[in-house]
């Protein structure tokens, strides 16, 4: 290069608009021989160069703004450091960032621009690395329309003039290696864009962020944690899909499951939650925990659904290693972890993705495609390759670095339809004139293809409420590729039905039976989620009609119906203890309710229900085909009763499920069954140990009678309890060896803890939530502090 800089180049450096500072700063060979070293230090009074031998030479100030230069004739490129004297006399020695080579390869840039780099988190953002024997942090960010991007932090007084990054050709990616930085250092990107745009942005790929309202990113080593869940991961990798196994999910908002009341009502940390939440969930018999979004978000009231830091677990509960510890502990205890993932939209906060480089980069420019007015959020531009890489890599990242077992994808309907929640004239049709968002459809399919191919055994769920076909069918058959779809229709119908006074239910009988018309068109999961206990909808218990006893009976009946109905299960926290109030994300669950017998017994009921579900193959093995279900009687609307069979893969292994949606006892209620023999009652929701009246409890087996009924040759005559559900199991030929089943497992028994009113609060905290392995009672919290 020529030795002398043009005035235009000098001005571009000092005014912070030079996109390729490596062409100017650092060490450069000169055409006529020798080298020139330049450094821009706006707060320095003097700059010296020191070589390996300790020899020093002072750089000359060539511009009063702080541009320094020295020409060394007859020298070849060499290792050097800079000794800088600040304008207040402070002296420090540092490596020159502009002497180090670029770290991103042309292939990295190509894949990112093509939208096929599915592990961009290994290249973008901030990474602790060693270059030429020097430790530091490599930064990379995508901002194609920026005039200049700088790394800022305490290390340079948050002054964007100090460390401008270099734009890598037409890729739009800027990079810089800063020696001397280490884990825990705070940083942001200062982005100077067109039209005098200047903003300080959090790193879109940051592994860790400050706690709101602060918004700086934090340098972190994302690969340092030593996992102890090898057995779980190997088992998951070799396991079949989620089709023929029990899936019972406990949906949790970590910020409000339980708080530490005696410490200013603070949140529990990830590590505390591992000690408290995990044994609670395990002893209630759930197979998975689903976490409302835990990626970093600025507004508590968004519940995590307005994400800023897609690659950072929220710092509300600890650091990234703390969250890995939580997942690790879950896996060691046999509990899967599902993340609520939000690739549909993002908030407008100034430090986030919105208008990132002074243009609509991650979002569409036209608000008819780029904005959700209902939510006040922006919509990703799925047609832009780099945005697809960002989102695809994010899913892979959580599976790779955090061993996540599944993704519940939020607001899928809003992604699929261009006219979602829009009036005529407020949306733009696709190129074929339709309302389908073709770019989003393609992204969803690719997400499912990649995540299932890279991580066998992982689960994907769609929160999708429309009639879009084949949501949970493979992409090679024309589907979207999800493993499961939320059954919103079933959820709305059954809640509308169960909240009616029983005297009116016979006029709405179709609400209970209609779901079976479409039950096997998708692989459904049955959700009673957080959305059903907020915004004036009442808690699950308070939705129920009748007096207090009837409310509890109705809720037990509803849960028993849910667990018998085809489909996997999901239940939001608080339902299991009979929460009276709606969920409040700013408050702990009402753990004090467990001082009272009805709430203890409801919790115990759910624990037993999960145990029965997991121990009886007919209830889960064939959830998505008619082979696993058969109506016995769906027409008894006058009595508001229904009955059906659930079948295992072995069709002679069945569970007879009977439901009475009225408070009237049905004596000698006859139900047709397909096989002659012995039927064992494995559940009666009216059992006294659950808070019921004890009607229709059969400690001994029930024998069939040769009375044809409901199109079957044999039948059972039973007492059907009020607002009750009963399950009877028929053991296949050859019969199951009961000696091989743990004592009383899957059968009716009483809570391990005394359910009477004389119990002390700390003795009834979990009310006998029964483990698969023992009958011990676990006390997951001190109710006096909850």
Is the C-alpha dihedral spanning 447, 448, 453, 454 positive or negative?
positive
| Distance separating alpha carbons of residues 711 and 230, to the nearest angstrom | 51
Q: Which of 746, 568, 519, 561 is nearest to 657 (CA)?
A: 561
Cα angle value 303/121/387 (rounded, 5°): 70
- Token pair 């009924």 is at which residue? 709
What phi and psi, each to the nearest 5 degrees, are found at residue 683?
Answer: -150, 135
Catalytic residue among 95, 251, 463, 493: 463
Torsion, CA 203, CA 396, CA 111, CA 296, rounded to 10? -10
Encoding tokens for residue 42?
A: 């706006």
| Residues 30/87, Cβ–Cβ less than 8 Å | no
| Residues 304/314, Cβ–Cβ less than 8 Å | yes
Q: Which of 320, 517, 305 is nearest to 402 (CA)?
A: 320
| Distance separating alpha carbons of residues 381 and 470, to the nearest angstrom | 24
| Residues 524/624, Cβ–Cβ less than 8 Å | yes
Please say if 226 is a catalytic residue: no
Please say if 221 is a catalytic residue: no
96: Cα separation from own chain's centroid: 41
Helices and strands in the chain, H and E counts: 16, 39
Catalytic residue among 410, 493, 522, 532: 410
| Distance separating alpha carbons of residues 605 and 692, to the nearest angstrom | 10
What phi and psi, each to the nearest 5 degrees, are found at residue 10?
Answer: -60, -45
| Distance separating alpha carbons of residues 756 and 598, to the nearest angstrom | 10
| Residues 303/349, Cβ–Cβ less than 8 Å | no
Encoding tokens for residue 179?
A: 């020696």
How does DSSP classify residue 283? H
Please count the other Cβ atoms lying within 10 Å of the Cβ belonging to residue 707: 13
Please count the other Cβ atoms lying within 10 Å of the Cβ belonging to residue 191: 25
Torsion, CA 407, CA 412, CA 416, CA 422, rounded to 10? -160
Please count the other Cβ atoms lying within 10 Å of the Cβ belonging to residue 235: 13
Query: Hey, is 785 helix, strand or coil?
Result: coil
Which are the contacts of 428, defined by CB distance < 8 A and separation ≥ 6? 366, 368, 369, 418
Residues recognised as catalytic: 410, 463
């Amino acid at each position: 290069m020529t030795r002398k800089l043009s005035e235009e180049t000098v001005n571009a450096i000092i005014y912070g608009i030079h996109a390729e500072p490596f062409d100017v700063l650092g060490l450069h060979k000169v055409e006529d021989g020798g080298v020139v070293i330049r450094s821009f230090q706006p707060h320095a009074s003097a700059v010296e160069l020191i070589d390996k031998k300790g020899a020093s030479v002072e750089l000359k100030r060539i511009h009063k703004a702080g541009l320094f230069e020295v020409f060394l004739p007859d020298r070849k490129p060499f290792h050097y450091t800079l000794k800088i004297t600040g304008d207040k006399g402070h002296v420090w020695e540092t490596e020159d960032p502009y002497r180090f080579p670029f770290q991103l390869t042309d292939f990295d840039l190509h894949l990112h621009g093509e939208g096929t780099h599915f592990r961009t988190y290994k290249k973008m953002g901030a990474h602790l690395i060693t270059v030429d024997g020097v430790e530091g942090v490599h930064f990379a960010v995508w901002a194609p329309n920026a005039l200049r991007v700088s790394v800022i932090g305490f290390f340079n007084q948050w002054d964007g003039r100090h460390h401008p990054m270099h734009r890598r050709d037409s890729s739009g990616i800027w990079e810089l290696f800063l020696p001397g930085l280490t884990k825990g250092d705070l940083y942001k990107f200062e982005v100077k864009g067109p039209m005098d745009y200047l903003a300080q942005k959090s790193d879109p790929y940051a592994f860790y962020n400050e706690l709101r309202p602060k918004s700086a990113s934090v340098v972190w080593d994302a690969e340092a944690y030593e996992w102890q869940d090898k057995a779980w991961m190997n088992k998951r990798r070799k396991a079949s899909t989620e089709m023929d196994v029990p899936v019972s999910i406990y949906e949790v908002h970590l910020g409000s499951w339980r708080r530490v009341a005696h410490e200013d009502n603070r949140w529990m940390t990830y590590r505390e939650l591992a000690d408290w939440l995990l044994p609670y969930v395990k002893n209630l018999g759930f197979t998975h925990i689903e976490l409302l979004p835990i990626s970093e978000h600025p507004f508590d009231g968004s519940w995590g659904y307005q994400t800023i830091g897609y690659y950072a677990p929220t710092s509300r509960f600890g650091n990234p290693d703390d969250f890995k510890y939580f997942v690790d502990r879950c896996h060691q205890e046999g509990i899967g972890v599902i993340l609520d993932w939000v690739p549909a939209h993002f908030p407008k906060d100034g430090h986030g993705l919105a208008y990132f480089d002074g243009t609509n980069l991650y979002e569409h420019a036209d608000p008819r495609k780029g904005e959700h007015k209902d939510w006040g959020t922006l919509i990703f531009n799925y047609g832009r390759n780099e945005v697809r890489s960002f989102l695809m890599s994010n899913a892979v990242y959580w599976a790779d670095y955090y061993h996540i077992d599944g993704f519940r994808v939020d607001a899928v309907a809003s992604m699929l339809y261009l006219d979602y929640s829009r009036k005529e004239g407020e949306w733009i049709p696709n190129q074929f004139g339709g309302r389908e968002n073709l770019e989003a459809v393609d992204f969803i399919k690719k997400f499912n293809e990649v995540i299932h191919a890279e991580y066998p055994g992982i689960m994907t769920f769609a929160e999708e409420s429309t009639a879009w076909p084949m949501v949970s069918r493979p992409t090679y058959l024309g589907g979207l590729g999800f493993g499961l779809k939320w059954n919103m229709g079933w959820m709305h119908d059954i809640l509308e039905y169960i909240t009616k006074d029983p005297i009116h239910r016979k006029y709405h009988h179709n609400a209970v039976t209609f779901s079976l018309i479409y039950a096997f068109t998708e692989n459904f999961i049955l959700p009673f989620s957080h959305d059903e206990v907020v915004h004036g909808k009442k808690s699950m218990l308070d939705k129920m009609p009748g007096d207090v006893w009837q409310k509890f009976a109705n809720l037990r009946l509803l849960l028993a119906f849910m667990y018998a109905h085809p489909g996997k299960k999901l239940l939001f926290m608080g339902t299991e203890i009979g929460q009276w109030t709606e969920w409040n994300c700013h408050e702990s669950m009402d753990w004090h309710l467990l001082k009272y017998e009805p709430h203890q017994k409801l919790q115990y009921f759910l624990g037993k229900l999960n145990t029965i579900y997991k121990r009886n193959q007919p209830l889960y093995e064939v959830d998505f085909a008619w082979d696993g279900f058969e109506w016995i009687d769906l027409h008894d609307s006058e009595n508001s009763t229904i009955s059906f069979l659930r079948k295992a893969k072995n069709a002679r292994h069945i569970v007879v499920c009977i439901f009475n949606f009225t408070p009237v006892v049905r004596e000698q209620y006859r139900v047709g069954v397909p096989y002659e023999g012995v039927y064992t009652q494995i559940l009666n929701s009216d059992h006294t140990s659950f808070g019921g009246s004890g009607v229709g409890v059969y400690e001994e087996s029930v024998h069939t009678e040769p009375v044809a009924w409901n199109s079957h040759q044999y039948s059972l005559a039973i007492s059907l309890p009020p607002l009750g559900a009963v399950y009877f199991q028929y053991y296949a030929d050859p019969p199951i060896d009961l000696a091989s089943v743990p004592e009383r497992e899957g059968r009716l028994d009483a809570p391990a803890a005394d359910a009477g009113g004389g119990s002390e609060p700390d003795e009834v905290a979990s009310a006998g939530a029964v483990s698969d392995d023992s009958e011990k009672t676990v006390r997951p919290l001190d109710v006096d502090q909850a």
